[in-house]
A and B are shown apart, each in its own frame.
Chain A
């Protein structure tokens, strides 16, 4: 079966531009997570969706970051006015009620 997919796989952008990252979770998975992974920093939690609602946005690093999920499926993470410190790999994961989260391959974002 299909796993979690993310697009684009790589994104290079200029400082100050907006970017949109997409996540397609495993079909039927109600929970969806976004993480950021920087070199040597481990996984940084950004936001969690249960269905279309986001009960926990506590990890979003600034108001330049936002995310939405529609139809209980696809999610988009938007970063406005990108900064160089936003450069990282952005990972999406999905799960059912069980704790095991299934990760996508990530989007590698480079802000020049």
Chain B
């Protein structure tokens, strides 16, 4: 079983829709949860990060963590064509640079249709 599971999609939605992207994980030690956005032929860029359970909002983006279910989500409101990208979740048990301590999902490819 992989440490982090993520539905690869692809996911296509009409412009303005609410998008829900999800990951599940198996390691209960994970405490730090990140979402990266990767445009085609670009490197991933850090979108949001959260610590432990709860919600975090940044503009049209909301990150949600449910540690009891080992489930994290990223919601995108009023989705735009410019949101079309691959979204990768990542998580870690530790804060701070070090070793192979960041575990990534495989990414969900999202297309927002104008």
**Which residues from chain A sit less than 8 Å from chain B, CB to CB?**
4, 30-31, 40-43, 45, 48, 50, 55-56, 58-59, 91, 93, 95-106, 108
Are A42 and B88 CB-contacts (below 8 A) given A50-B97, A95-B97?
yes
CA distance A41 to B42 in the complex (A): 16
Total number of B residues with any Cβ neighbor in A under 8 Å: 26
Closest chain B residue, CB of each to CB of A56: B99
CA distance A105 to B42 in the complex (A): 5
Beyond A96-B97, A99-B102, A105-B42, list 7 extra A-B contacts (CB 8 Å).
A40-B8, A42-B88, A42-B104, A55-B99, A100-B46, A106-B41, A106-B42
Q: Can you give 12 contacting A-B residue pairs, CB < 8 Å?
A: A40-B8, A43-B44, A43-B88, A43-B104, A56-B100, A91-B44, A97-B97, A98-B95, A99-B34, A99-B92, A102-B45, A103-B45
- Tell me which residues across on chain A come within 8 A of B44, comparing CB atoms: 43, 91, 103
B46 touches A4 (CB 8 A): no
- Among B8, B43, B98, find the residue whose CB has the most chain A CB atoms closer than 10 A: B43
CA distance A58 to B41 in the complex (A): 27
Find A42's partner among B32, B49, B92, B106 (CB 8 Å cutoff). Answer: B106
Chain B 78-107 near chain A by CB (<8 Å), digits 1 or 0 = 000000000010001011111110101111
CA distance A53 to B4 in the complex (A): 28
Closest chain B residue, CB of each to CB of A108: B41
A50 touches B43 (CB 8 A): no
Chain B 36-51 near chain A by CB (<8 Å), digits 1 or 0 = 1000011111100100
- Tell me which residues across on chain A come within 8 A of B8, comparing CB atoms: 40
